[in-house]
């Protein structure tokens, strides 16, 4: 039955087009790109507002890549520019909040993450 599902959708006038295959995250570079894009979208700001991403943290969580994002320092002397810690799921690139104190994956990153 499963192999006929696309045929049934076509018969019903529904489209299977436009479905994007899941993109696995196999590198720290791609994890940073996914997290940066998602956080910029949630903050409603350009990607350029995120200055850097650090990945490959010691003790990564199996199945995820843990990253920290930092903003630009706009002062002569800066304290922390940390935007947040995030976990990028390797199977599909979904971005989650990350609890550094407990070293565990939190809920999906959302507007709530940034007080929206």
> How confident is the model over 34-80, as pLDDT tens digits?
999 999 999 898 999 999 999 987 676 899 999 999 999 888 888 88
Q: Is 88 inside a domain boundary? A: yes
Q: What is the pTM of this model?
A: 0.75
Q: Is 15 inside a domain boundary? A: no
Q: Which span out of 8-12, 41-45, 78-82, 109-113 was modeled with the highest average pLDDT? A: 41-45
Q: Is 32 inside a domain boundary? A: yes
- How many domains is the chain built from? 1
Q: Which domain holds residue 31?
A: 22-111
Strand boundaries in 13-93, DSSP class E: 50-54, 64-71, 82-89
User: Could you count the other beta carbons within 10 Å of the beta carbon of residue 52?
Assistant: 13
Q: Is 4 inside a domain boundary? A: no
Strand partners, 68: 54, 85
Q: Is 7 inside a domain boundary? A: no
Q: Is 46 inside a domain boundary? A: yes
Q: How many Å apart are CA 3 and CA 111, to the nearest integer?
A: 38
């Amino acid at each position: 039955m499963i192999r006929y599902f696309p045929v049934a959708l076509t018969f019903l006038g529904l489209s299977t087009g436009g479905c994007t295959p899941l993109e696995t995250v196999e590198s720290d570079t791609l994890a940073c790109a996914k997290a940066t894009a998602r956080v910029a979208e949630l903050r409603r700001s350009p990607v350029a507002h995120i200055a850097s991403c650090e990945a490959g943290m010691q003790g990564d969580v199996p199945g995820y890549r843990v990253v920290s994002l930092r903003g630009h320092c706009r002062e002569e002397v800066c304290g922390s520019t940390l935007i947040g810690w995030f976990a990028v799921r390797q199977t599909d690139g979904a971005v989650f909040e990350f609890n550094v104190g407990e070293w565990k994956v939190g809920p999906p990153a959302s507007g709530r993450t940034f007080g929206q």
